[in-house]
Amino acid sequence: MTIEQLIWLVPLLPFLGFVINGLGRNSLSKGLVGIIGSGVILASFIISVVIFFSLQGDTQKSHEVFLFDWISAGTLHIPLSFLVDPLSSIMLLIITGIGFLIHLYSTSYMHDDEGFGKFFSYLNLFVFFMLLLVLGSNYIVMFIGWEGVGLCSYLLIGFWYTNSAYASAAKKAFVMNRIGDLGFLLGVFLMFNFFGSVEFSKIFPQAANMLPGNNTLILITILLFIGACGKSAQLPLFTWLPDAMAGPTPVSALIHAATMVTAGIYMIARSSVLFDLAPFTQHIIAIVGAATALVAAIIALTQTDIKKVLAYSTVSQLGYMFLGLGVGAYTGSFFHVLTHAFFKALLFLGAGSVIHAMHHEQDMRHMGGLRKKLPVTFLTMMIGTIAIAGLPPFSGFFSKDEILAHAFQYSPVLWGIGVITAFLTAFYMFRMMFLTFSGKYRGTHHEESHVHESPAAMTTPLIVLAVLAAIGGIINLPHVFGGNEWLAHWLSGAGVAQHELDLSHSTEYALMGTSVVAAIIALLYAYTRYVKGARVPVADEAPRSALAKLSYHKFYLDEIYDFIITKPLDAFSRFFYRVIDTKFIDGIVNGLGWSTNEASKGIRLLQSGNVGFYIFMMVFGIVALLLYTFLYI
């Protein structure tokens, strides 16, 4: 079987799963729904593996598979076609692989939920759209997936829709994504005007011959980046992601950590040819990425909800990836996408396991001492934490350091921000771990007796992901450690721009040493503070220092947005409706009718009923007409 024959099955299978589970959500048994839901993803994964290996053995690294003509109008032709190349094939593995693990996990995690069938059908639909996103051979097919995953995110964040706060969070996610989507769409229009096509295979070869700094390219890339900002939760559009934690935890793991939010990075890596030609945009991306990484990390320091910590950590890590993209480390960023997918999915699933054990308690102030109760969860999450903290030899270390090395080369200031963020990351992650797992249980004794380790369907994914998070670094082992940078070579086959590091090995060692030392200091500080000191975050209302308050209240970003955007728009809305529309415009219309009425009221008085008067007026009129005719004509 060739790639062309197999590829359409990869998205089709999850779609079938969606249809079957969607239609049978009330009639199929939970077991069957789980088997179908996970089975289709597993099948997709197996096919993806086959495709991956046949692509590896293939000399032709990119296959375009045409399905049908979707939209055509005038010179615009948009086929629905897929592109299989090294970049998309790796994404396929991630989406279906991690997707499968999370589906498996969900069969147990969601088992007692009445919306079990609905949940799996949404999850399958998400995987379908995500696959469409990465498989599309042009920006429009990518956009279908792009918005489709946004829809699934909306559906799954609002999964428990009877809670209106959750429903609001879902809406917020959708709308904020839409802001980015408008940028994306405008970028695509501009691209169509400029290149005459929206196909990757037509745009990139043309762009390759252009000189850097072309103004149109800068505009295109900025617009695309706005799109990425929305989807990948970058400043100033990131506030939806923490709220998105309203969804069930497997959703947070799959959509809001491992796959969907990395779509922006995928898109920019895919378009690296364009971005490489727009240094100005890259500069902006690097700054926005670094700022997001830092701001989100600061917020994460004081959060008390275990999922919120992870959510801000995700935002922060995404900022890292954008920093990497901005400084030209496309491979490094993509590498971080992979490792992040492993350890962040792991951490979320671990958090889910904790929440499951705690009977839907998410506040870390009520946890503590769970290490004995949840040994597997603890162990695997610890691996994830070490990985995200960037301690060698776990995967996060390699990917983070690749980005940092490139950042150093680009601008030491950005590197400095990166290291500070790494320090903060290590601190808040260990803080989370210690608050959750060490010390004494902070709930009632009765509650404590109910805490128990999760079943195998939940722990197996954790273990698999933990292994991946531990060893994932080898896929792009840098030269300094004697590696061959396999991922970089592989991705160059997909046209992802590569920039060699121009640093001596000793500099590289020094940079790594700095970040590792920073992480270790953070670890020790967290240890003394939360294990030795056994400190617990104060209650919501308790007084905090100004900085802690700022962090705890997320820099008041939501309130600021509410004040400068939502409130004024609503005020405008009311003003337009009550004053302009009803009073002014409709007033003119009604005024016309009114004045006609009034005029008729006046004029009808002439109709006195006096026949003599009528006759007189008639004669008068005739005479006047005659006179007019005589005098003027």
Partner 1 sequence: MENLTTQMAGVPLNHYIYLCAIIFTIGVIGVLTRRNAIVIFMSVELMLNAVNLLLTAFSVHSNDPSGQVFVFFIMALAAAEVAVGLAIIVMVYRNTKSIDINVLNRLKW
Partner 2 sequence: MEQLLLLIFLPLAGAIITAFAGKSAKIISTVISVASLVLALFIAGNFIPDASTQFEANLPWIADLGIRFHAGIDGISMLVVLLTNLLIPIIILSSYKHDYKNPAAFYALILFMQTGLLLVFTAMDAFLFYIGWEAALIPIYFICAFWGGKDRIRINMKFFVYTIAGSLFMLMGIIYLYLQNPADNFDIQAFYALNLDSAQQGWIFWAFFIAFAIKMPIFPFHTWQPDTYTTAPTQGTMLLSGIMLKMGIYGVIRWLLPIVPTGVQDWSGLAMVLSIIGIVYASLIAFTQKDTKRLVAYSSIAHVGLISAGIFALNQQGMQGAMVQMLSHGINVVGLFFVLDIIFSRTKTNKIEELGGIAKAAPQLAIVFLIIVLGTVALPGTNGFIGEFLLLMGVYNYGIWTAAIAGLTIIFGAVYMLRMYQNVMLGQTNTLTINFKDIQGTEKLVLYIICALIIILGVYPKPLLHITEASVQHLLEQVNQKLTSVK
Q: Is 216 in the site for partner 2 (CB under 8 A)?
A: no
Considering CB distances under 5 to 8 angstroms, the limit depending on partner class, which of partner 1, partner 2, none binds residue 33? none
Measured between alpha carbons, how far is 265 from 317 in angstroms, rounded to an integer?
A: 12
Tokens 């299989």 label which residue?
A: 84
Give min distance, CB of 182 to partner 2, in A.
5
DSSP 604: G
CA dist 604 → 105, 473, 599 (Å) = 83, 93, 9
The answer to the question of residue 161 lying near partner 2 (CB under 8 A) is: yes
Rounded least distance, CB 595 to partner 1, Å: 19
DSSP 501: -
**226 versus 381: smaller Cβ distance to partner 2:** 226
| Residue 455: DSSP 8-state | P
* Residue that is written with structure tokens 């009034």 in the block: 598
Pairing of strands 63-73, 76-84: antiparallel
Of 206-214, 386-394, 502-510, 576-584, which part binds partner 2 (CB under 8 A)?
A: 576-584
Identify how many contiguous H helices and E strands the chain contains and give both numbers: 28, 2
Give the interface segment with partner 2, choosing from 50-58, 293-301, 510-518, 588-596 (CB under 8 A).
588-596
| Alpha carbon distance 11, 304 (integer Å) | 38
Would you state the structure tokens that stand for residue 199, as one six-digit string? 């196909």
Provide, rounded to whole angstroms, the least separation between the CB of residue 616 and partner 1: 6
Q: Which residue, 6 or 179, is less far from partner 2 as judged by CB?
A: 179
Using the minimum distance from each CB to partner 1, give the nearer residue, 27 or 629. Answer: 629
Binding mask 132-151 for partner 2 (x = CB under 8 A): --------x--xx-xxx--x
The least CB distance from residue 576 to partner 1, in Å, is 41
What residues from 588 to 617 belong to the interface with partner 1 (CB under 8 A)? 604-605, 607-612, 615-616
The residue within the footprint of partner 2, chosen from 15, 52, 70, 555 (CB under 8 A), is 70
Q: Which of 366, 356, 318 is nearest to 461 (CA)?
A: 356
Q: Which residues pair with 68 in a beta bridge?
A: 80
Instruction: Output b/e per residue, 54-70; b: 16+ Cβ within 10 A.
Output: bbeeeeebbbbbeeeee
Q: Which residue has the tokens 């082992």?
A: 477
Which segment (158-166, 288-296, 301-309, 443-451) binds partner 2 by CB under 8 A?
158-166
180-212 burial string, b = 16+ CB within 10 Å, else e? bbebbbbbbebbbebbebbbbeebbeebeeeee
Please say which residue, 572 or 613, places its beta carbon nearer to partner 1.
613
Which of 619, 625, 626, 627 touches partner 1 (CB under 8 A)? 619
Residue 633 burial (C-beta neighbours within 10 Å; 0-12, 13-18, 19+): exposed
Q: How far is CA 377 from CA 338, 365, 385, in A?
A: 21, 18, 12
In the complex with partner 1, the residue whose CB is nearer, 588 or 605, is 605
Q: Applying CB under 8 A, does 585 fall inside the site for partner 2?
A: yes
> In this chain, which stretch among 178-186, 317-325, 350-358, 440-448 interacts with partner 2, using CB under 8 A?
178-186
Task: Return the axis-axis angle of helices 330-357 and 86-109, rounded to nearest 10°.
Answer: 0
Distance of alpha carbon 44 from the chain centroid: 23
Among partner 1, partner 2, none, the one that 616 touches (CB under a kind-dependent 5 to 8 A) is: partner 1
Q: Distance (Å, rounded) from C-alpha 48 to C-alpha 90?
A: 9
**Please, which residue, 206 or 610, has the CB nearer to partner 1?**
610
Residue 612 near which of partner 1, partner 2, none (CB within 5-8 Å, type-dependent): partner 1
Residue with tokens 């934490």: 385
Q: State the binding string over 316-355 for partner 1 (x if CB under 8 A, else -).
A: ----------------------------------------
Q: How far is the CB of 593 from partner 1 (least distance, A)?
A: 20
Alpha carbon distance 309, 555 (integer Å): 15
Nearer to partner 1, 215 or 600 (CB): 600
Binding site for partner 2 (CB under 8 A): 68-76, 140, 143-144, 146-148, 151, 154, 158, 161-164, 167-168, 170-171, 174-175, 178-179, 181-182, 185-186, 189-190, 192-193, 569-570, 572-574, 576-577, 580-581, 585-586, 589-590, 593
